[in-house]
Amino acid sequence: MQLKDKTVLITGGASGIGKIMGRLMLERQAKVIIWDINQEGIDTTIADFSNLGNISGYKVDVSNIQNIQDTAIKVKQDHGNVDVLINNAGIIVGEYFHDHSTADIIKTMEINANAPMLITAEFLKEMLQQNSGHICNIASSGGLISNPKMSVYAASKWSLIGWSDSLRLEMRKLKKNVNVTTIMPYYINTGMFDGVQSKIPILDPEAASLTIVKAIEKNKKMVTIPGYIYRVTRFGQAIMSVNVFDWFTGSVLGIYSTMEHFTGRKK
């Protein structure tokens, strides 16, 4: 996909990889719209990048359906159709399941699993009408493999992967030129996963963001970062018993202990 002159909407676009992807899109001469719950972050991002091109922002709580629908209407009124939608906003609690509050569980699912579907529903109709568009969903390698202290987060990302790739198949079945890319990164060093300790290298946010943007440009279907994560997990699950896979993942790769010292982004 040629990104020049395309209108790109990024949720969670005022920090982390969302902010970096916004800059990369502006460098490709796209028109960028960011959604974020943090107004100060929106203002800072626009101030940082306004010299690069056309960027605007909206304060949105993506766990609020009415807020999503009202802001989507305003975006269409202000900017017309969205060509590229990047569902990037996400949260993690990082505790054992029994320590999650009811609010923790509901909010995680609302933001990580429900919001991408509800936001896409607001913009997909126009993409279908013009028979062009791209939807990129930022899931997680946590959607491929179970992990202690990530149970609800993993559930939300497993959900996102299943919906995202099903949507891709629906677009193909309908012969529509609306592409869907599902991204499954390992831990990214943005602050969201502060305290994580890993034998597998934690991802650089700049490099990860560039990989995602290039995946959109190349109309990739499913992308893990690093690329071997999908092959290792799926192949291992296919040929190993549960006990052997647990040993390999927990003891050899050390994944099951990565969240032991998790602190997360400071509020």
**Which of the following is catalytic: 153, 186, 187, 256?**
153
pLDDT per residue rounded down to tens, the chain (267 residues): 999 999 999 999 999 999 999 999 999 999 999 999 999 999 999 999 999 999 999 999 999 999 999 999 999 999 999 999 999 999 999 999 999 999 999 999 999 999 999 999 999 999 999 999 999 999 999 999 999 999 999 999 999 999 999 999 999 999 999 999 999 999 999 999 999 999 999 999 999 999 999 999 999 999 999 999 999 999 999 999 999 999 999 999 999 999 999 998 865
Question: What global pTM score does this model have?
Answer: 0.95
**7-257 architecture in CATH?**
3-Layer(aba) Sandwich (3.40)
Closest CA to 150 of 213, 220, 96, 226: 96
Distance of alpha carbon 73 from alpha carbon 173, whole angstroms: 28
Would you call 256 a catalytic residue per the annotation?
A: no
* Residues near 184 by beta carbon (within 8 Å), at least 6 away in sequence: 139, 140, 141, 143, 144, 157, 161, 222, 223, 224, 225, 229, 230
Distance of alpha carbon 200 from alpha carbon 218, whole angstroms: 27
Report domain extents, the chain. Answer: 7-257
